[in-house]
Amino acid sequence: MEIIPAIDIIDGKCVRLTEGDYTQKTVYNENPLEVAKSFEDAGIKRLHLVDLDGAKAGKVTNWKVLESIAKNTQLVIDFGGGIKKESDLKIVFESGAELATIGSLAVKEPALFETWLKQYGESRFLLGADVKGENIAIGGWLETTNETIIEFIHKYISKGVTQLFCTDISKDGKLEGPSIELYKKIIQQFPELYFIASGGVSSMHDIDELRLIGCSGVIVGKAIYEGRIKISELC
């Protein structure tokens, strides 16, 4: 199972939110590149980089952070937050991201996303599914839709998407453990999917549980920054 540390960015700084609430923000480091290098030095190969300003504003905002990390590390970066137009997508790829993370746009503008899948190739995209309960949440977690996670995945697997991460917002940033039952349900229904768990990971025990149920990867954030998991344990 692939371990993927997360760096969430607001105002160019490494932060974490609790339950996706922008008013519940903790700044962990003012230099995201320093954090990324510490991951790489420990043997980590991949990074999940989230532009929270971009997610809220609806346009890519912290692309300079992406560019800095891509130029100064060998990490495989997936970048998301605010990718709404092809000009945003081009900025993300030109700034060094291997994969673009698409969430809200896949819900609101499926035809545009499907065009990108054909134009750039399915392998360049990581589909993000943020959920409240089992329903998709979009816009930096500020809006909940009527579409279920199962419906969402089924639609895009048929379009060629192969990688997806799912974040249970009720768990995110709370260090109370991941949504094991929800993830089991998804993996059982879509065994061919490269499924990445996200949200609530608080210990190596949680990571072991996710491995046992068949997750292909796991995104880990706050547990690292709070010292619950040592970077050295992840490799």
Known catalytic residues are: 8, 130
d(CA 142, CA 56): 8
> Which of 121, 120, 117, 97 is CA-nearest to residue 109?
117
d(CA 34, CA 36): 6
Q: For 231, list phi and psi in degrees, rounded to 5.
A: -55, -40
3-state helix, strand, coil in the chain (%, to 5): 40, 30, 30
d(CA 189, CA 6): 26
Write out the DSSP string of 141-162. TTEEEEEEHHHHHHHHHTTT--
